[in-house]
Structures are given as C-alpha cells and as structure tokens.
Amino acid sequence: MRRPVRAPVLRALALGAALALAGCTPPGLPVPQPPDPSSSSAPSVSTGGSSPSPSVSVSGPVTTPAAEDPSLTIGLDAVVTGFNPYAIADASTATTAVAALTLPSVSVVDEAGRRQLDGTVVTSASVTSTDPFTVTYEISRAASWSDGTPVTAEDFRYLRDQLQQQTGVRGAAPYALITGIDSAAAGKQVRITFSTPVADWQSMFSPLLPAHILKDAPGGFLGGLSGGVPVTAGPYRFSGFDAVTGQITLRRNDKYWAAQPGPNGVVLRLGTPTELVAALGRGDVQAVLLEPGNAAAQQLSALIPPPDRTVVPLAASVTLVMDTTAGATASADVRRAIAAGLVPDVLDDAYTGSRPDGLLPKGSPVQLPAVDAAAGTRPPGVFADPTAAAAALAAAGWERGAGAAVLKDGLPLTLTLGYPTRIPALARTARLIQTQLGRIGIGVDVVADNDVIARLGQPAAGGRHVDLALLEVPRGTSDAIEAISSYGCPVGGAAPAVTTPQSTGASTSSSAGARTTAGSGTSGAASGTGAASGTGATPPTTTTGIADPPVSTVGTTVEESPGTAGTTTEDPPGSGGAVADLRHGANLAGWCNADLQPTLLQLLADGTEGSAGRQVLSDVGAAVLAALPVIPLGQPQAVFAVAPELRSVLSGSRAGWLWTGPLAGLAGWDHR
C-alpha cells in the first residue's frame, strides 16, 4: 500500500514576535495548563522574501523535519486571503477546512446533513424560555483554547458584538436580535435572550472565535485572522501558512480535551487544478478538492475512477451584486436592463471553463439548487432580452445615441464592475459581463480587487465608485437566516422610512438614481492607485469599457413594495453624505423593503420547515427578484478525488458535505 509522501519542509523564516496573550481564569475553573512550547499558537509573521503576502509560522523550539512532516497532504485550488469563517471576503475551501478542524462550534452538520449539538464543546443547549425567547448553553468545563484560556461566555459575547457591527459577514441578522447574554458558573453557563424567536438558533455560534485574542488584534475582527488562527480549540492547531510555497500546516492539538485525531497533521497544499492533478498522480498529495475547468477535470477523470471521485456542491452562490444606494444602479429600471442584457447560460460556461457540472444554474436568491431543485429554475422574461433592456433603460432616461453607448443629457452610462482577484473564474465571467452589457449600450470598467466588498457603493481609489460586484457569496444552512441577513432591513432598530427625493438638478443624482457629471473625466480612474481603505492591499487593476464612470452621489434605497422601482433618499443639505446605510451583514446591495421586513422576521421566527414555510420563502425570493438588488447566477460545484488509501472516506453518507466540505471529518479518517 502506498505510503503518504512527506511534504517539503516549510521555507518561511519567522521574523516577528508572537502574540503572547494569556487569558485569565474565571473563578471556579481549574488553572489553565501552560501552552506546550512545541505547540505554541502565537504566530510570527515574515514577508517570505519577495512575497506580497505574509507567511505565518509558529514560534517555538526548532524541530527536525521528520517530526514536522504531516500525515496527510491535501491539494486545494483555493487562494487564501484570510481565515475568518464569517468574512465573505475570506471564503474559500481552505478557510472552511481550517475552521472545521481548529475552531470550536456549538453545533455541527453530520455526514447525513443533520445539525447536531457538538458535545465536546457544549454539553447541553436548549430553549429555556419562550417569553422572552431564551436559549441556555452549558459549555464543557474541559473546553479551552490551545493557550489554556477556557472557552466561556466571553467568546459568545464577542461574536455577537462583531456580527452586529460588521458589513461583509454571513448570517448576522439573528445576532442583532440578541438583547442580553448572561453567564454563570465561571462563564461556562451562557443564557442568551432574544427580542423575537429564532427557529434556527441551533446554527448560531458555530464556530466560536477566540475573543481574548481578537479583541485586541491588529486588523480587528475582519483582519485579525488574515495570516492564520493564533489559538485553536479543535483537534488541530494552526502551525503555519506559507504564502510563497502555498502551504497551510495543521498539527495535532495536544491541548485538545476530546479524542485525538487519527492523522498527526495535515498540509493543505494550494495550487492550480492542473498542478494538483499531477501531484495526485505522483502521490505527492493524497486527495484534492478542486474547481477545475473542463481540461483539468478530464485529466482528473482519466487519473481517478468514479468510485474514488465525486462532485461536491459548495455552500455558496455566484452572484452579481448591484449597489442600490447610489449611482445608476439605484434605479430598478437600470437593474432590470442589466439583467435583460445578460445571457446566464453563456456566463455559466465562462465561469466553469466549460465543465458541464461546474455550476448549478440558480434562479432563487434565497435557496440553493442542490437543496431544492426548483431553486435552479431561472425566472422567465428577466434575462437575454435586448428589447426589454432598451425599454428599461429608456424608462430610466437613457437612450441609444449615434454610437454604441446609451446617453442621458449627452453623457454615456458607464458602470464599474469589481471582482476579487483571487478567483480566476470570476475574472473570466466579469469580462464576459462587460461584453454582454456593452451590446445594450452600457459601458463597464472591470476592476480586479480583493477589497471589492469594502469598495462596493463607496468612493474608492481615484474617486471610483464600484456599482457592481461579482462574488462567490458563502452561506449557512438556514434559508431563513440567509434571507433576512442578505435582504432585510437592520433588525436591531426600526425600519427606515421611505422618503421621496427632491429634484436636485442635472449635475447630481436624478430621481432614477443615475450618476451624471459635467465632464467626461478620465478613463480608468482607479488604475494604478492605492487601496482606498488604507489596508495596504494590492491596488485594483482596471479594464476600461465604453466610457468613464461619472461622479456619484450617496443615498439610501428603500423599496416600498415587491416589484416597485423604489425611491432614493438623498443626502440632506449640509449632511456631508452622512445618511443611514442599509449595507450591513450580508446585505451587500444595501437594498431593504419595508413591507417585506415583517415577513422576513416571521420567517426567522417560524423557520422554513413544512410546505407553508417553503412557500413563504419562495415568495420572499420572488419579491427580491422583482427588485433585483442581486442577480443569482449559480451554485459552484467542486470535485473531490482521493488516492486508494483514502477510499473509505467516500464510502459513507455525503449529504452533509454541502455545508461542511469533505475535509471537516478529516480528524477521523483512516488513511493507513
């Protein structure tokens, strides 16, 4: 039987000092064990030579290469920008795997797809009151982070606070309904009170993050895990991330209080599908999880027979997000024109590299086709209709001129489309969107930028406003939570009032939300400039479309009822642009329907079980599609293939892999 081939020794040189934050022990708990130097969780950061990204390794005594060799090496075609499992910008198969193997969760999804209490972390969790709705958790007294700090109510509070505040995070809405978190028994009993019931409360707080580390970490919640997971509370500890060699190393967590994992350690080797298929053929990796194009998929099919290879749907949606708060896309007519100008089947083919099973068509903005086949049916009369596109543009005041572009007040309509650089499939698709919209007279400047979520709807480098974002948006198991998190009004306060804007003249935003300017500007305003957010990120690169983007004004969009064009609340004089922004959590478009909000809250309280709940969810999806703050394109599917020694991994139920990925159960793999 083939023995696993040992991975190369990490070449990154640690330059920085470790975070050395020790947690205090609450009264009544055993004194925490001092961290084992050989399993130190404090990362040090080095530039890795000329690498643009930091390489993270763990400080501690030097060990021999043999002692550091992992037992398994898995190939992933992910490009890692961070390890926060809640941050949409960090989402990847690598981030999902690292979170499952290193972080504690209140509940987990088993292989059959059922959500179960994780008894190693929480010994009990139940609804202890319905008025007010209250859930009480008993945390295992043995549960602790790898630096010896106990897992306590403080970790619950930290996650609640951050998900209430952040934009660009998944599943945040129910956390905003929390009115109190009380603790007892030295923080090991947690009592959480909500303002309204949450049917899918079991999916919350999974995973937990180390509050005692992240609350003071540089970069905060969204940036604190950019280079690794400094302390863990799972079967593995994070040993290092070398961005130059493309390796993430996990080692057995000696401080883990439950059963120790089978494999001593794991290397997640990052690369292209073609490289990793070849590595699997050589025996350099024992499994691969890839989103290959058709050519690499055929190579993998020839190498690995079907019993050792399977298609795995991913819990994500390829989505075109439109800024509904400002600019031309604040007009529902313009959004309808954009949809009518797109040919989704052709976009699907571009995204997958012509792999037939690479993307499940997706018509619903609130459901996944891998769960409900009906969600894969695209609505009729929305796409691929140039005549309808021209009519919608005319309704918004844009008419075809003598040339290719549509014009208003003599100025062309040009939008900026951003996409994260790290996903090549999105680059291909973005360029095709540029071509398709050009045919209906809309110019598109394409910007490659990993900070596109932060830039969406905000003036970016050089004054550029990002109108459209093409993203892979991750999601959790609860349709109700995802619906209100993505399309709901802020649930912590009252729904905003609908305000009819006053006429502002030709040089500012019109009632249709179109951006106009007195001059044509310069092409590619964002090209070659630094990141507007000041994070030191790689500057965006731009592909210029028909014309340059006009100057934007900022406002807040609230739809009055499903299917209406909505109204834009303009900035009051002297406000300096300081208006309430509806962009929060996973609501990246900033779209909110005041009439739909009670239905979303009721769906959150009742859940989607049963035919009645599914019908309400379907109605919510139809209301969102009528307004088109987003255009759902598809659900990506990966290919998982294993070497013969891992064949048993594919022998059981795999329904839960949709939510967890196939690597979540790696600690229990028999690889002998």
What would the pLDDT profile of 222-252 be if each residue is shown by its tens digit? 999 999 999 999 999 999 999 999 999 999 9
Q: How confident is the model at residue 528 (pLDDT cuts 50, 70, 90)?
A: very low
Mean pLDDT of 517-542: 34
Using the 8-state DSSP alphabet, how is residue 554 labeled? B
Question: Considering only 39-43, 270-274, 317-321, which range has the smallest mean pLDDT?
Answer: 39-43
Mean pLDDT of 330-349: 98
What pLDDT, on a 0 to 100 scale, did the predictor assign at position 38? 40
Mean pLDDT of 281-296: 97
* Phi, psi at 175, each rounded to 5°: -70, -30
Mean pLDDT of 478-500: 73
- Cite the residue boundaries of each domain of the chain with CATH code 3.40.190.10: 37-101+217-295+638-668
Q: Quick one: fold of 316-635?
A: Dipeptide-binding Protein; domain 3 (3.10.105)
Using CA atoms of 180, 181, 184, 188 in order, give the dihedral in degrees to the nearest 10. 170
Architecture of domain 109-212: Alpha-Beta Complex (3.90)
Question: Considering only 24-33, 513-522, 594-603, 632-641, which range has the smallest mean pLDDT?
Answer: 513-522
Q: What percent of the chain has pLDDT over 70?
A: 75
Nearest CA-CA partner of 643 in 296, 370, 257, 309: 309
Which residues are paired to 229 by β-bridges? none
Q: Decide: 212 and 233 in contact? Cβ < 8 Å.
A: no
What pLDDT, on a 0 to 100 scale, did the predictor assign at position 403? 85
More confident residue, 541 or 101: 101
Q: How confident is the model at residue 318 (pLDDT cuts 50, 70, 90)?
A: very high
Mean pLDDT of 54-72: 42
Q: Decide: 362 and 633 in contact? Cβ < 8 Å.
A: yes
Looking at the predicted structure, is the pLDDT value of residue 553 above 70? no
What pLDDT, on a 0 to 100 scale, did the predictor assign at position 672? 63
Using CA atoms of 239, 242, 246, 252 in order, give the dihedral in degrees to the nearest 10. -10
Using the 8-state DSSP alphabet, how is residue 12 labeled? -
- Cite the residue boundaries of each domain of the chain with CATH code 3.90.76.10: 109-212
Tell me the pTM. 0.80
Looking at the predicted structure, is the pLDDT value of residue 622 above 80? yes
Q: Decide: 320 and 468 in contact? Cβ < 8 Å.
A: yes
Mean pLDDT of 409-427: 94
- 446: helix, coil or strand? strand
Looking at the predicted structure, is the pLDDT value of residue 660 above 60? yes
Using the 8-state DSSP alphabet, how is residue 36 labeled? P
Q: Output the six-digit token pair for 296.
A: 């690499």
Q: Decide: 489 and 582 in contact? Cβ < 8 Å.
A: yes
Question: Considering only 205-219, 427-441, 516-530, which range has the smallest mean pLDDT?
Answer: 516-530
* Rounded Cα distance, 542 and 416, in Å: 9
Q: How confident is the model at residue 377 (pLDDT cuts 50, 70, 90)?
A: very high
Alpha-helical runs (H) found in 69-181: 93-102, 153-165
The chain-wide mean pLDDT, for the chain, equals 81
Which residues are paired to 446 by β-bridges? 417, 543
Q: How many CB atoms lie within 10 A of CB 445?
A: 26
Using the 8-state DSSP alphabet, how is residue 102 labeled? H
Mean pLDDT of 555-572: 34
Looking at the predicted structure, is the pLDDT value of residue 458 above 60? yes
Alpha-helical runs (H) found in 342-420: 344-352, 386-395
Looking at the predicted structure, is the pLDDT value of residue 582 above 60? yes
Looking at the predicted structure, is the pLDDT value of residue 17 above 80? no
Q: How confident is the model at residue 521 (pLDDT cuts 50, 70, 90)?
A: very low
Looking at the predicted structure, is the pLDDT value of residue 5 above 50? no
What pLDDT, on a 0 to 100 scale, did the predictor assign at position 379? 92
* Rounded Cα distance, 221 and 212, in Å: 12
Looking at the predicted structure, is the pLDDT value of residue 661 above 70? yes
End-to-end CA distance of the chain: 8
- Cite the residue boundaries of each domain of the chain with CATH code 3.10.105.10: 316-635
Looking at the predicted structure, is the pLDDT value of residue 333 above 50? yes
37-101+217-295+638-668 CATH, one of 3.40.50.300, 3.90.1170.50, 3.40.440.10, 3.40.190.10: 3.40.190.10
What pLDDT, on a 0 to 100 scale, did the predictor assign at position 457? 73
What pLDDT, on a 0 to 100 scale, did the predictor assign at position 83? 98
Mean pLDDT of 292-314: 97
What pLDDT, on a 0 to 100 scale, did the predictor assign at position 459? 64
What pLDDT, on a 0 to 100 scale, did the predictor assign at position 586? 95
What pLDDT, on a 0 to 100 scale, did the predictor assign at position 463? 57
What pLDDT, on a 0 to 100 scale, did the predictor assign at position 27? 41
Mean pLDDT of 330-350: 98
3-state SS, one letter per residue, for 124-146: EEEEEEECCEEEEEEECCCCECC
Q: How many CB atoms lie within 10 A of CB 390?
A: 19
What pLDDT, on a 0 to 100 scale, did the predictor assign at position 251? 97
Question: Considering only 89-98, 117-126, 484-493, 646-655, which range has the smallest mean pLDDT?
Answer: 484-493
